[in-house]
Every structure is written in structure tokens, then in C-alpha cells.
Structure 1
Amino acid sequence: MITPEGHARLKAELDELWRVRRPEVVRALAAAAAEGDRSENAEYTYRKKQLGEIDRRVRYLGKRLEHLRVVDTPPTDRGAVFFGAWLRLEDEDGHEHAYRIVGPDETDAARGWISIDSPLARAALKRRADDEFEAELPGGRRSFVVLEVRYGAPLD
């Protein structure tokens, strides 16, 4: 599963790699190869490695995009936490945290985007505002209260 924004980002990355980065590296590789002895040509070795990395990522993204299911409609029960939800939680210490539940390909800790497969997201699924729940996190068991659940627009 993936959000429409996440899908668009992966497609844009694939397009950038295939249409811009790869041709640049191929040109640089050809120029390095034209310099002569390839066994002692650091530029040639570097560009070959770089091309291999780009090709691996292009193959991965191509296969991954074929199998992802874009979830572009909110659930019928908008009051509960499901995929794509924006939620605000309060932990047992009284600190508020804002998260968005997304697919594993689009997690971003700095933005508060957590994978639906994460322990916190799994524990929050189907919860509603004012529900309390516990989650087994890497730092130990923590308690939370759901303050808000929203779909579509990000939390303020």
C-alpha cells in the first residue's frame, strides 16, 4: 500500500534516474573509457559502479511500482485510525506527537510519517479519539491517548 503522494514521489524518482541521471553517467562513462587503459582509470571504475547503482535502483523501483496498491480514498469510518490517517497522540508523559500512517516505502521520521507495519501504527489501528492504547516500542512499552484522527489535510 502507498499513498498517492508516495506513489508520485517514487515515479518521479524513477523518471529522474532513467531520463536524467543514467544518461549523464553513461556519457561520463564513455568519456572515461575513451581515455585509454581502463584498469588504472579511477573515473571509469567510479562511473561503472555508479551506473550499476542506478540500474539496481531503477529495477527495484520498476518492480515495486508494479506491485504497490495506491490507496486514494479515505475509509468509510473516518473516525478511526486506518492507512493514510493523520493522528495526534499524547504519550504518558503528556507530550503530543503528530503522525501520518503511510506505506513502508514512504516513511519519513522527520515528518512523522510512520509505516503501517510499525509497532506504534499497528497498536493505533482502529482506535478513535479519546481511546487509550499501549504499544511495544524499541524503548519499551508506552501508553498513548488518541487526541485526533483526520484524513486528507495534515494536522495543524
Structure 2
Amino acid sequence: MTTRPNYITPAGYAALKAEYDRLLGSERPALVETISWAAGNGDRSENGDYIYGRKKLREIDRTLGRLAARMKAAKVVNPAQQPDRSRVYFGATVTIADEDDNQRTLTIIGNDEADAGRGRVGWDSPIARALRGAAVGDLRRISLPGGEVEYEVVAISYPAG
């Protein structure tokens, strides 16, 4: 089975790596030390530090596995090096307007970096999929939970490189 590439910006990859390193380098060893100390206190069946520590260790190990898989599948793309800046591709900052001329500005980035509240949408989100390849002036119909909306691409920009 082939895995789809996990497109991500250099900053997004650095954030994933930093989280992985923090968990593996400091949180996990400190927790293992606490579990070892708690295990030495006798009866483990009623030892809250031991029981909670083991549960927390499993959570950290799952997170480490997920982060490792995401980093392994990562395809780092620097938006500043986008050769065709006239169309919407990964890393584009796009201004769109609906029928009432209400404008929104979105940046299309990796799914692991998405933060819709800050206008940062994941590459595989419905709005990003609809905008892929669009040029200024293009109309795109997007299915949202509230129904279909048509947006016009007003502006496209990429970070300076």
C-alpha cells in the first residue's frame, strides 16, 4: 500500500520534528523515571502514580508513532519556490469573494499545519481542493456544510523567496 505524500511547509515540518524531539527527549524519559519510582513502591494495582504513568506513557508512544509516520510521509514544499505564481498551488495565500462581495483570505498549507481560525487551511480540505489550479478571476463552487457557495478568486500571492 502506498501512502499519499504529506505535503508540508519547512516551518510545519520543523514544528512536527520539535514536538517529536520534545516528547522523546524529555517528557517520555521523565515519565519512565516516575513509573520506575512508583513501581518500586509495592502494590501496583492501587498505585495511582504507576497506573496513571503507564496510561500517559501509552498516549505518548501513540503520539510518537503518529508523528513519526507523518514525518516519514512528509514531502516538504517551500511555497516561496513555486514556479507558477499565477495559479493556486500549495502555499498560496488566496483572497476569495462570495456573491455578496464578502472577502476571505486563506493560506493553503499542509494538513498538519491547518488552523482554520487563522485562515490556514489544509491542502486536502474541501475549499483547498476546489481552489487548486485556479487563477485570478476564476469562479469556483465549493460545497460547505451550509450548502454550496460560489467564490471568485480575487488575488493570489506566495511568500517571497
Q: Provide TM-score, normalisation by structure 1.
A: 0.91
Gapped runs of 5+ residues in structure 1? none
Please state if 1:124 is matched with 2:123.
Answer: no
1:32-111 to 2 correspondences below 5 Å: 32-73=38-79, 74-111=81-118
Give the aligned length: 153
Give distance in 1, aligned partners of 2:99 and 2:119: 18
What do you get for the CA RMSD once the two structures are aligned? Answer: 1.4
Percent identical pairs in the alignment equals 42
Q: Secondary structure at the match of 1:40?
A: coil
Please state if 1:3 is matched with 2:5.
Answer: no
1:94 deviation in Å? 2.5
Question: Amino acid of the residue matched to residue 66 of structure 2?
Answer: Y
69-78 or 79-88, which deviates more = 69-78
Aligned partner (choices 11, 30, 33) of residue 24 of structure 1: 30
Q: Secondary structure at the match of 2:19?
A: helix
Gapped runs of 5+ residues in structure 2? 1-6
Q: Provide TM-score, normalisation by structure 2.
A: 0.88
Q: Secondary structure at the match of 2:88?
A: coil
Give distance in 2, aligned partners of 1:104 and 1:124: 15
Give distance in 2, aligned partners of 1:142 and 1:27: 54
Give distance in 1, aligned partners of 2:69 and 2:137: 41
